[in-house]
Amino acid sequence: MEAATERSSARELPGDKAARIVEAMRASVADRGIAGSTFDHVAREAGVSRGLLHYYFGTKERLLVEVVRRECEVRGELLEAAVAGATSAADVLDALVRSFEDFLGEGPSGFVMFYELLLLGQRNEDIGVALAELGRRLRLQLAGALQAKCDAGALELRADPTDVAGFLFMLADGVAIRRLSEPELDIAALIDHAVLAARPLLG
């Protein structure tokens, strides 16, 4: 079974086929949801045969695990880019808020996909493990960026950097869920209050 799992990993695919397939599935889940994202549709969007998806991934769930990995790469890169030029605690928070607002500005599809995967992860161990790793990696990535800014004198962390990063993600998750549940709600005030809650942790 372990050998089959390794063979099905998108990282073993040659050329750019893995990237095309995973990106096609990522876009499909965001637009159509997990149930509506069939191998037939994904194969057409990726420009490959349906049989190739079955050969390399085996199941939709296995492909979704690769979607989670790709989402982690994308979000991690955006987080690092957001704080790269910050020179103060205020700059860091402003950069993170802009990054979050950009994410919300993409429309609901991105975080709908993430929360739909979270629900599926409660019933599918592979996806659950991948999502846990996604959360851990993003938290540690942001924690590392915050620690680097602290070491450079741009801010003064008042708690463990991983705890600070986890708290920041918790605030963002809460605002995102509120946006999902009340699409017409003006969340500007909520974001302002989230910044006020986070500010003391950055010195």
Of residues 16 and 87, more confidently modeled: 87
State yes or no: pLDDT of 85 exceeds 60: yes
Q: What percent of the chain has pLDDT over 70?
A: 90
Number of neighbours of residue 4 by Cβ within 10 angstroms = 9
Residue 156 and residue 111: Cα distance in Å, rounded?
A: 31
Residues 41-77 have pLDDT tens digits of 999 999 999 988 888 888 888 898 888 888 888 888 8
State yes or no: pLDDT of 197 exceeds 60: yes
List, in order, residues 6 or more apart from 175 with CB less than 8 Å away. 100, 187, 190, 191, 194
CATH topology of domain 2-202: Tetracycline Repressor; domain 2 (1.10.357)
Residue 10 near residue 26, CB atoms below 8 Å: no
Of residues 103 and 153, more confidently modeled: 153
Residues 137-188 have pLDDT tens digits of 999 999 999 999 999 999 999 999 999 999 999 999 999 889 888 988 999 9
Residue ranges per domain, the chain?
2-202
